[in-house]
Amino acid sequence: MERKRTAEAVHSPALAPPSLTHPADPDQARLDAATATFRMLADPTRLHILWILAQGEADVTALTEACGASRTAVSQHLAKLRFTGLVDTRREGRRIIYRIRDGHLSRLVREGLNHADHVVTGEPAHE
């Protein structure tokens, strides 16, 4: 028997561990938080940095080389991403290593770029 997947069912505590449940309908605070996240993704350099970090941790030098922006620009974007809580850091000797704070953001970045791939290539959309 196939279970019908509605927004309410997907977020039902009976179907998911408590840490994975979310309200079926977002309130204003959640809409505002999502808008702030999407705003941070709206810059091509920041999105590229986040895509690189979705693959794994990196320092400023690696990010600069990978995304082709200046070290100053990458550092400024990382400061914004860190200030808004989208990335975390840890120290490794003299280097600062950056990483995406949670899996939700990694998946969001990947899905956004997968969607863009379909738009650019003309491939049909899929689930």
According to the model, what pLDDT value does residue 19 have?
A: 59
Look at residue 27 and tell me whether its pLDDT is greater than 90. yes
- Indicate whether 88 belongs to any domain: yes
- Indicate whether 60 belongs to any domain: yes
Look at residue 79 and tell me whether its pLDDT is greater than 60. yes
Helix (H, G, I), strand (E, B) or coil at 75: helix
CATH number at residue 104: 1.10.10.10
According to the model, what pLDDT value does residue 82 have?
A: 97
User: What dihedral do alpha carbons 110, 112, 113, 118 form, nearest 10°?
Assistant: 120
- Indicate whether 102 belongs to any domain: yes
- Indicate whether 30 belongs to any domain: no
For residues 64-84, average pLDDT: 97
Look at residue 10 and tell me whether its pLDDT is greater than 80. no
- Indicate whether 105 belongs to any domain: yes
Domain extent at residue 62: 39-121
Average pLDDT in the chain: 87
Look at residue 64 and tell me whether its pLDDT is greater than 90. yes
According to the model, what pLDDT value does residue 29 have?
A: 95
- Indicate whether 70 belongs to any domain: yes
Residues paired with residue 100 on neighbouring β-strands, in sequence order: 87
7 against 48, higher pLDDT: 48
- Indicate whether 4 belongs to any domain: no
- Residue 98 near residue 57, CB atoms below 8 Å: yes
- Indicate whether 16 belongs to any domain: no
Residues 6+ apart with CB under 8 A from 30: 23
**Amino acid symbol at 115:** H
Cα–Cα nearest to 100, from 85, 112, 113, 115: 85
d(CA 119, CA 113): 10
Total domains present in the chain: 1
- Find the angle CA(116)-CA(21)-CA(109) to the nearest 5 degrees: 20
